[in-house]
Structure 1
């Protein structure tokens, strides 16, 4: 479980498993409905399918980081998101049937009905969940009032969310701040006075929640206000100003019984590290087994198209900034090493690329040997793409947060690549965008996201025009 206890959702730790169970039950009930509609099948014959689907859907939908009581994402109401997650679950079911050689035992009609109907039943369940949460939060006597002490940019965003989304069930009354006006455009919220005025206000008024800005104001201004709140029944929350140090993502954790704010951290600790590695080993071994004849044919094509070795090997940065050797099928003619050691990226119509190399690069087949890197443990199937050492040394000085991508293993495919950031990074802006997507992946990692990236990679790789 790692060396610290994550307290971000300590009040809603039950929410992930509960929602996971609800969605898993919805999927199983949909399967039973499809079996009932197709009168030539019995549900008992689908016990294996139901077991695999139930476990897979519970794991995918019970990711507690996906849900919070006050977040619209609790319902996964976005239909495309539901389709993507369900597609990943169905893929796992089909893969299990293939590996157990039992696919022929199940009705294709039922499976197709199940595939098509489930996104709609999940959406109905999603809407129902959202309606229930909205009713609970907006019921008479359930709405809470809030006041902000120290109005940082994070506090302003929080206030705007409370005002625009009724599902929170929170009504902001105003804020205390030493500044007359906000530097940031947003919804109007009355200024109740300076920070020191908050003490008298709390003595004469009742409020349910108080949000205190941690870093925006001096501690000498905030301390008396916090002391005054000890003599109240208000719930008190501290809001760190993430913009002060340029931190875009802060989490709360407890380390050795001491509360800390986590700015940057690998998501792969304890169980998550084991799950990530387990999936990597199983999928990479299966892919290498299934594609071994194709890889032999590619090796022959490389050898026949130009003289030189079959594989191209290059040092890249791996997890922790350690150098690793990454292999690809050679797609270029052998070139003498440059005098200055500069690594030149491939470009459109690059004369160094052979005719066969152009073919395997466009279809990304040149990356297949990297599944051996995955088995060996230096890479993962999904993660930030590894860059040449020379490029790392160049961009780490120009792109803020560049080295943070090395908190995880590099991947064969990644979040940046399926969002159009594949191929040559010939401008600083392109590299900055790629790093933004890499860091998004690290901060929002889940097994469901990994499967989503894998599926989208398979769908787009054949029509991608950014590889050359």
Structure 2
């Protein structure tokens, strides 16, 4: 049954993302032009992330911060919307999560799923897949998602390890209907902005570029 659910999941991922890109293409163009006309740098931001089984891939987002923001100020940490590295357009994109839309191309390419654990950067919260505790590696047994159980529940309000616990709960409970419920909850969450930013310690990070 799980194999059947995974096959249906991939079908939904591919067709849903393809149709979605076609429908929202005018929005994508408007966002791209807004970024290009209001700040220096590329329209898109790409970054190495850990995917299924720890395989590294490049995630695609709309750029919301100044170029090389990770090497300026607090690095990966973004404590609030007042971070001066965030562009004016980027502030809006982050609040609405519209910066995540280009990840639909990652889904079509088979690197991501519409629903799944969010893919972490290669060096945080642990440096490489080999340094994750054994219990935490379960989250890498499925493709990472554009949204997920963590995003519609705790989001960034808890530490990374606590988020991984939620990710593992998703892995255990996975089925297509569960995915659909998470997608619908995500739509409602888009109109809210709570838990996008938080104060951090060594085990937490915030919504990155």
Note whether the superposition's TM-score is higher than 0.5.
yes
Whether 1:345 and 2:74 are equivalent positions in the alignment is no
Structure 2 unmatched runs, 5+: 198-209
Partner residue of 2:187? 458
Partner residue of 1:412? 146
Partner residue of 1:403? 137
DSSP 3-state at the match of 1:415: coil
Query: What is the CA deviation profile of residues 156-193 of structure 1, one whole-angstrom value per residue up to 9, with x for unaligned ones?
Result: xxxxxxxxxxxxxxxxxxxxxxxxxxxxxxxxxxxxxx
* The structure with more radius of gyration: 1
Q: Flag the structure with more relative contact order, 1 or 2, with Cα contacts below 8 A and sequence separation at least 6.
A: 2
| Candidates 108, 111, 133, aligned match of 1:378 | 111
How many residues of Structure 1 are paired with residues of Structure 2 in the alignment? 194
C-alpha distance in 2 between matches for 1:442 and 1:359: 32
Query: What is the CA deviation profile of residues 105-141 of structure 1, one whole-angstrom value per residue up to 9, with x for unaligned ones?
Result: xxxxxxxxxxxxxxxxxxxxxxxxxxxxxxxxxxxxx
Whether 1:272 and 2:5 are equivalent positions in the alignment is yes
C-alpha distance in 2 between matches for 1:395 and 1:315: 11
Query: What is the CA deviation profile of residues 369-419 of structure 1, one whole-angstrom value per residue up to 9, with x for unaligned ones?
Result: 000000110000000001111115349647562221110000000001100
Structure 1 unmatched runs, 5+: 2-266
Alignment check: 8 A CA contact 1:343 1:388 kept: no
Whether 1:440 and 2:169 are equivalent positions in the alignment is yes
Alignment check: 8 A CA contact 1:405 1:439 kept: yes
Partner residue of 1:330? 63
RMSD: 2.3
C-alpha distance in 2 between matches for 1:295 and 1:442: 31
Alignment check: 8 A CA contact 1:343 1:390 kept: no
Q: TM-score normalized by structure 2?
A: 0.85
DSSP 3-state at the match of 2:126: helix
Query: What is the CA deviation profile of residues 44-95 of structure 1, one whole-angstrom value per residue up to 9, with x for unaligned ones?
Result: xxxxxxxxxxxxxxxxxxxxxxxxxxxxxxxxxxxxxxxxxxxxxxxxxxxx
**Large movers: runs of 4+ above 2 Å:** 335-339, 392-400, 464-468
